[in-house]
Structure formats: structure tokens, C-alpha cells
Amino acid sequence: MTISSKPWLGISPTGPLLRAKDAAEYVACSKAHFFTQIEKGILPPLIHIDPECRARGVPKPWLDAVIAERAAATLDASA
């Protein structure tokens, strides 16, 4: 399956902000793989809420958009 879109674009970053560890668990991958997928543009980037704070995370709706797109692509491929 080729992944070329960024389904999180245009989705408001509302809802809970998941830190990297929690976001990786949410999409069922290791933290290292999660960061690799971000670098490749397959997963959305982490955002900083406060530039003076090191904490960053990804909005859950962005991850939900990725999951929904991948599920649709999987279902289309198997049909």
C-alpha cells in the first residue's frame, strides 16, 4: 500500500494532545518507529504548545484521520 496523502491537513488540532509515547501506543507501534514515520511524512508532526517547554505532542484527531485513511485503503485493496 502506497501512502502519499497527509489526511490530517485541514483538521483542527482540537481534542487531547498525545505525547510521543502515548501516540505511538495509540497507533500500535514503537516510539522509534513512530518518529521514523513522522520523518517520512506518514504520520503528522509533533507540535509545541509552549515554545519555552520541551513537551510536545500530536492532536488525537490527526491520528484518527490517519487511521481512518489507512483503514479505508485497506478495505479498498481487499475488495
Give tens-digit pLDDT for 6-42: 999 989 998 899 999 999 999 999 999 999 999 999 9
Give the pLDDT of residue 54.
84
Give the pLDDT of residue 49.
84
Query: pLDDT per residue over 64-75, tens digit each?
Result: 999 999 999 888
Residue type at 58 in one-letter notation: V
Contact 54, 20 (CB under 8 A): no
Give the pLDDT of residue 55.
85
Of the candidates 18, 16, 14, 65, the one whose C-alpha atom is nearest the C-alpha of residue 42 is 65
- At 53, the pLDDT band (50, 70, 90 cuts) reads confident
HSE-CB for 47 with a 13 A CA cutoff: 12
C-alpha cell at 23: 501516540
